[in-house]
Amino acid sequence: MPLGPKFEATLIEAKDGAEWAWAALYRDLAGPVTGYLASRGARDAEDLASETFLQVARNIQRFEGDEAAFRSWVFVIAHRRLIDWRRSQGRRPSTVPITAHDGERWGGDVEVEALDHVVTVELQQAFEKLTDTQRDVLALRIIGHFTLEETAGVVGKRVGAVKAAQRRGLLALREHLDLKRVTQ
């Protein structure tokens, strides 16, 4: 839920060091940010998300812009954290299955329970076969609700490259699902 008209005032208060303002910003973005990190394989997505927010706080005085710009900026930092983390792992991380998470925190949405476990695993395995860029782009577009242009800004690529990555990613996903079905 975006803060909408309240964002401007919240940002001013956040710069002023008001805890309530930070709580509002964090509650608003923790879902998509943590979800993005978890979908991209971060085992400790919750920790990475809070580190992201602390980094945001360190630099907040120099941020100017509206809520959409803020969202993008937060994800730029989250994305950098993800790359650092990925590098520290030294291997290709797999998606953390949503079903592996604490039911209380991830089950706020009834949809989660409706997910067929077998199908979810199948989809996630197919997703893991995509390239990092394809996965980054698809996760940002779906979980972060970013436009093509915003996504390009977050991952630091051109719009054309993002477009190509999402198309290739979706088609590769379909191919993996198909293969899986044939071999079963």
Partner 1 sequence: MRRWNDYRGEVFNTTISEQEIERLLTGSPAGDGPHSDLAAFVEMMRAYESYLPPDHLVDRVSAEAATLALAGRATDVTGTKVSPPSRRRWPALSPRVAVAALSVVMAVGMTGVAAAADSAAPGDPLYGLDRALERIGIGSGSAGERLDEADQLLTEGQTMQALEHAAEAIDGDAASSAALDIAIDRFETAANQNSTAVQEKVAAILTYMSENIGPDRGVDGREFGQGIADIARGIAPPSETGDESPAHSPSPGMQNQPDGGEQPDSGNQGTRSGNSDPPGSRDNQGNENSGDGNPATGSNQGGGNADPHGQSGASGKGSGPPPEAPSGIAPGRGNRP
Of 21-60, which residues contact partner 1 (CB under 8 A)? 21-23, 26-27, 30-32, 34-36, 38-39, 46, 49-50, 53-60
Contacting partner 1 within 87-146 (CB under 8 A): 87-88, 90, 98, 101, 104-109, 111-112, 115-116, 119-120, 123-124, 126-127, 131-133, 138-139, 141-143, 145
Which lies closer to partner 1 via its Cβ, residue 43 or residue 55? 55
Choosing from 1, 4, 5, 64, the residue that interacts with partner 1 (CB under 8 A) is 64
37 and 45 Cβ atoms separated by less than 8 Å: yes
Least distance to partner 1 from the beta carbon of 56, Å?
A: 7
Report d(CA 48, CA 45) in Å as an integer. Answer: 5
- Tracing tokens 């436009």 back to the chain, one arrives at 147
Shortest distance, position 183 Cβ to partner 1, whole Å:
13
Minimum separation from the CB atom of position 81 to partner 1 (A): 8
* Residue among 18, 41, 42, 48 that touches partner 1 (CB under 8 A): 18
Looking at 10, 150, 179, 183, which residue binds partner 1 (CB under 8 A)? 150
Q: How far is the CB of 129 from partner 1 (least distance, A)?
A: 12
Residue 92 vs residues 87, 130, 131, 135, 165: alpha-carbon distances, Å? 9, 11, 10, 12, 18
Residue 179 in contact with partner 1, rule: CB under 8 A? no
Residue 74's Cβ-count burial label (10 Å; 0-12, 13-18, 19+) is buried
